[in-house]
Structure 1
Amino acid sequence: MAFNANFFGGESETTLENTLIDYLQKQKPETLERIAQSATPEIKEIITHNVQGLLGMLPTEGFNVQIVADKQHMANLLASAMMTGYFLCQMEKRKALEENLSDTDSVE
Protein backbone atom coordinates (compact mmCIF):
# COMPACT_ATOMS: atom_id res chain seq x y z
CA MET A 1 0.00 0.00 0.00
CA ALA A 2 1.53 3.29 -1.08
CA PHE A 3 0.39 6.81 -1.81
CA ASN A 4 0.42 7.71 -5.50
CA ALA A 5 1.65 11.30 -5.58
CA ASN A 6 0.26 11.74 -9.09
CA PHE A 7 -3.25 10.75 -8.00
CA PHE A 8 -4.41 14.34 -7.95
CA GLY A 9 -3.14 15.01 -11.45
CA GLY A 10 -2.26 18.52 -12.54
CA GLU A 11 -2.09 21.58 -10.40
CA SER A 12 -5.63 22.76 -9.85
CA GLU A 13 -6.58 25.62 -7.55
CA THR A 14 -7.45 23.05 -4.88
CA THR A 15 -4.11 21.22 -4.97
CA LEU A 16 -2.15 24.49 -5.00
CA GLU A 17 -3.85 25.47 -1.74
CA ASN A 18 -3.38 22.08 -0.07
CA THR A 19 0.02 22.02 1.60
CA LEU A 20 -0.38 18.36 2.64
CA ILE A 21 -0.76 17.24 -0.96
CA ASP A 22 2.18 19.45 -1.94
CA TYR A 23 4.28 17.87 0.81
CA LEU A 24 3.28 14.33 -0.21
CA GLN A 25 4.08 14.99 -3.85
CA LYS A 26 7.61 16.07 -2.88
CA GLN A 27 8.33 12.83 -1.01
CA LYS A 28 10.25 9.98 -2.58
CA PRO A 29 8.02 6.97 -3.36
CA GLU A 30 10.35 4.77 -1.26
CA THR A 31 9.75 6.98 1.77
CA LEU A 32 5.99 6.79 1.42
CA GLU A 33 6.13 3.03 0.87
CA ARG A 34 8.29 2.56 4.00
CA ILE A 35 5.85 4.62 6.08
CA ALA A 36 2.86 2.70 4.73
CA GLN A 37 4.53 -0.64 5.46
CA SER A 38 5.37 0.39 9.04
CA ALA A 39 1.70 0.37 10.07
CA THR A 40 0.73 -2.71 12.07
CA PRO A 41 -2.06 -5.00 10.86
CA GLU A 42 -4.27 -3.69 13.68
CA ILE A 43 -3.87 -0.09 12.50
CA LYS A 44 -4.53 -1.08 8.87
CA GLU A 45 -7.70 -2.88 9.96
CA ILE A 46 -8.99 0.13 11.92
CA ILE A 47 -8.27 2.51 9.03
CA THR A 48 -9.97 0.11 6.58
CA HIS A 49 -13.09 0.02 8.75
CA ASN A 50 -13.00 3.80 9.12
CA VAL A 51 -12.74 4.42 5.36
CA GLN A 52 -15.40 1.80 4.62
CA GLY A 53 -17.67 3.50 7.14
CA LEU A 54 -17.12 6.87 5.48
CA LEU A 55 -17.74 5.51 2.00
CA GLY A 56 -20.48 3.08 2.87
CA MET A 57 -20.07 -0.63 2.74
CA LEU A 58 -22.23 -2.91 0.65
CA PRO A 59 -21.38 -6.52 -0.06
CA THR A 60 -19.71 -6.96 -3.44
CA GLU A 61 -21.96 -9.86 -4.38
CA GLY A 62 -25.23 -8.58 -5.76
CA PHE A 63 -24.14 -4.94 -5.86
CA ASN A 64 -22.18 -3.05 -8.48
CA VAL A 65 -20.85 -0.34 -6.17
CA GLN A 66 -19.23 2.73 -7.68
CA ILE A 67 -18.03 5.74 -5.73
CA VAL A 68 -17.59 9.08 -7.41
CA ALA A 69 -15.83 11.94 -5.66
CA ASP A 70 -14.07 15.12 -6.64
CA LYS A 71 -10.42 15.78 -5.86
CA GLN A 72 -11.12 17.86 -2.76
CA HIS A 73 -13.26 15.15 -1.16
CA MET A 74 -10.62 12.54 -1.94
CA ALA A 75 -7.96 14.82 -0.45
CA ASN A 76 -10.08 15.15 2.69
CA LEU A 77 -10.50 11.39 2.87
CA LEU A 78 -6.75 10.89 2.47
CA ALA A 79 -6.00 13.46 5.17
CA SER A 80 -8.51 11.80 7.49
CA ALA A 81 -6.95 8.37 6.95
CA MET A 82 -3.46 9.77 7.49
CA MET A 83 -4.42 11.52 10.71
CA THR A 84 -6.21 8.40 11.93
CA GLY A 85 -3.10 6.35 11.18
CA TYR A 86 -0.84 8.83 12.96
CA PHE A 87 -3.14 8.92 15.99
CA LEU A 88 -3.35 5.13 16.15
CA CYS A 89 0.44 4.74 15.89
CA GLN A 90 0.88 7.16 18.77
CA MET A 91 -1.72 5.29 20.84
CA GLU A 92 0.03 1.98 20.12
CA LYS A 93 3.30 3.47 21.38
CA ARG A 94 1.56 4.88 24.45
CA LYS A 95 -0.04 1.50 25.20
CA ALA A 96 3.33 -0.26 24.92
CA LEU A 97 4.94 2.36 27.17
CA GLU A 98 2.21 2.02 29.79
CA GLU A 99 2.54 -1.77 29.68
CA ASN A 100 6.31 -1.50 30.14
CA LEU A 101 5.90 0.94 33.01
CA SER A 102 3.35 -1.29 34.73
CA ASP A 103 5.78 -4.20 34.40
CA THR A 104 8.51 -2.19 36.13
CA ASP A 105 6.12 -1.32 38.99
CA SER A 106 5.51 -5.00 39.66
CA VAL A 107 9.27 -5.73 39.73
CA GLU A 108 9.77 -3.77 42.97
Structure 2
Amino acid sequence: MNNLSPQNPESLGSQSEADSLLWEYIQSMSPETIAKLSKPEPEVAELMNRNLRGMLGVLPSEHFGVSITTTREHLGQLLASAMMNGYFIKNAKQRMELENSLPLSE
Protein backbone atom coordinates (compact mmCIF):
# COMPACT_ATOMS: atom_id res chain seq x y z
CA MET A 1 0.00 0.00 0.00
CA ASN A 2 1.94 2.93 -1.26
CA ASN A 3 0.04 6.17 -0.64
CA LEU A 4 2.66 8.13 -2.55
CA SER A 5 1.70 6.72 -5.94
CA PRO A 6 0.06 9.29 -8.22
CA GLN A 7 -3.61 8.84 -8.97
CA ASN A 8 -3.35 10.58 -12.33
CA PRO A 9 0.22 10.33 -13.68
CA GLU A 10 -0.62 12.33 -16.83
CA SER A 11 -1.54 15.42 -14.82
CA LEU A 12 1.61 15.12 -12.71
CA GLY A 13 3.75 14.95 -15.84
CA SER A 14 2.26 18.13 -17.27
CA GLN A 15 2.59 19.82 -13.86
CA SER A 16 6.29 18.99 -13.64
CA GLU A 17 6.75 20.27 -17.20
CA ALA A 18 5.03 23.52 -16.24
CA ASP A 19 7.22 23.78 -13.13
CA SER A 20 10.30 23.18 -15.28
CA LEU A 21 9.27 25.87 -17.77
CA LEU A 22 8.60 28.31 -14.94
CA TRP A 23 11.99 27.54 -13.38
CA GLU A 24 13.73 28.04 -16.73
CA TYR A 25 11.90 31.36 -17.17
CA ILE A 26 12.96 32.54 -13.71
CA GLN A 27 16.58 31.51 -14.37
CA SER A 28 16.55 33.50 -17.63
CA MET A 29 15.64 36.74 -15.82
CA SER A 30 18.26 39.38 -15.22
CA PRO A 31 19.38 39.99 -11.63
CA GLU A 32 17.82 43.47 -11.82
CA THR A 33 14.41 42.02 -12.75
CA ILE A 34 14.58 39.46 -9.95
CA ALA A 35 15.57 42.17 -7.47
CA LYS A 36 12.63 44.32 -8.58
CA LEU A 37 10.18 41.41 -8.32
CA SER A 38 11.57 40.46 -4.90
CA LYS A 39 11.25 43.96 -3.46
CA PRO A 40 8.14 44.29 -1.30
CA GLU A 41 5.65 46.93 -2.34
CA PRO A 42 4.69 49.13 0.66
CA GLU A 43 1.02 49.26 -0.41
CA VAL A 44 0.87 45.48 -0.84
CA ALA A 45 2.54 44.93 2.53
CA GLU A 46 0.01 47.25 4.21
CA LEU A 47 -2.95 45.43 2.62
CA MET A 48 -1.51 42.07 3.68
CA ASN A 49 -0.98 43.42 7.20
CA ARG A 50 -4.63 44.52 7.37
CA ASN A 51 -5.78 41.18 5.99
CA LEU A 52 -3.78 39.19 8.55
CA ARG A 53 -5.02 41.40 11.37
CA GLY A 54 -8.55 40.73 10.16
CA MET A 55 -7.94 36.97 10.18
CA LEU A 56 -6.33 36.94 13.61
CA GLY A 57 -8.38 39.64 15.28
CA VAL A 58 -7.27 43.12 16.18
CA LEU A 59 -6.63 44.16 19.75
CA PRO A 60 -4.43 47.15 20.56
CA SER A 61 -1.11 45.76 21.76
CA GLU A 62 -0.63 48.60 24.25
CA HIS A 63 -3.66 47.40 26.24
CA PHE A 64 -3.63 43.64 25.66
CA GLY A 65 -1.03 40.91 25.75
CA VAL A 66 -2.21 38.79 22.83
CA SER A 67 -0.93 35.27 22.35
CA ILE A 68 -2.08 32.94 19.59
CA THR A 69 -1.80 29.17 19.81
CA THR A 70 -2.20 26.98 16.75
CA THR A 71 -1.00 23.79 15.16
CA ARG A 72 1.74 23.56 12.58
CA GLU A 73 -0.85 22.61 9.94
CA HIS A 74 -3.07 25.61 10.65
CA LEU A 75 -0.08 27.94 10.72
CA GLY A 76 0.97 26.56 7.34
CA GLN A 77 -2.52 27.20 5.99
CA LEU A 78 -2.43 30.77 7.32
CA LEU A 79 0.97 31.33 5.70
CA ALA A 80 -0.23 29.91 2.39
CA SER A 81 -3.33 32.11 2.52
CA ALA A 82 -1.24 35.20 3.27
CA MET A 83 1.14 34.39 0.41
CA MET A 84 -1.71 33.87 -2.06
CA ASN A 85 -3.30 37.14 -0.96
CA GLY A 86 0.03 38.89 -1.43
CA TYR A 87 0.45 37.50 -4.94
CA PHE A 88 -3.12 38.47 -5.81
CA ILE A 89 -2.72 42.02 -4.50
CA LYS A 90 0.65 42.51 -6.19
CA ASN A 91 -0.75 41.22 -9.51
CA ALA A 92 -3.76 43.52 -9.17
CA LYS A 93 -1.42 46.47 -8.55
CA GLN A 94 0.69 45.56 -11.59
CA ARG A 95 -2.43 45.26 -13.72
CA MET A 96 -3.69 48.64 -12.51
CA GLU A 97 -0.32 50.23 -13.35
CA LEU A 98 -0.36 48.60 -16.79
CA GLU A 99 -3.92 49.76 -17.49
CA ASN A 100 -3.04 53.28 -16.33
CA SER A 101 0.00 53.36 -18.61
CA LEU A 102 -1.96 52.35 -21.73
CA PRO A 103 -3.89 55.00 -23.65
CA LEU A 104 -7.65 54.67 -23.47
CA SER A 105 -9.15 53.65 -26.80
CA GLU A 106 -12.82 54.40 -27.42
* TM class by smaller structure: 0.5 to 0.7
Shift, 1:38, TM fit: 1.5
Distance 2:76 2:82 in 1: 10
For residue 66 of structure 1, what is the aligned residue in structure 2?
A: 67
TM-score by length of 2: 0.60
Distance 1:52 1:36 in 2: 25
Pairs aligned (count):
72
Question: Does residue 43 of structure 1 match 2:51?
Answer: no
Q: 1:36 to 1:69 in 2, by over 3 A?
A: farther
CA offset digits 1:28-66 (Å, max 9, x no partner): xxxxxx699512000000000000110011011221111
For residue 86 of structure 2, what is the aligned residue in structure 1?
A: 85
Percent identical: 39
Residue pairs, 1:10-49, within 5 angstroms: 38-49=39-50
CA contact 1:43–1:89 (8 Å) conserved in 2: yes
Q: Which runs of 5+ in 2 are unaligned?
A: 1-34
Q: 1:53 to 1:38 in 2, by over 3 A?
A: same
CA contact 1:39–1:89 (8 Å) conserved in 2: no
Counterpart AA for 1:45: E
Aligned-partner SS, 1:74: helix
Aligned-partner SS, 1:67: coil
Counterpart AA for 2:85: T
Q: For the aligned residues, what is the CA RMSD? A: 2.2
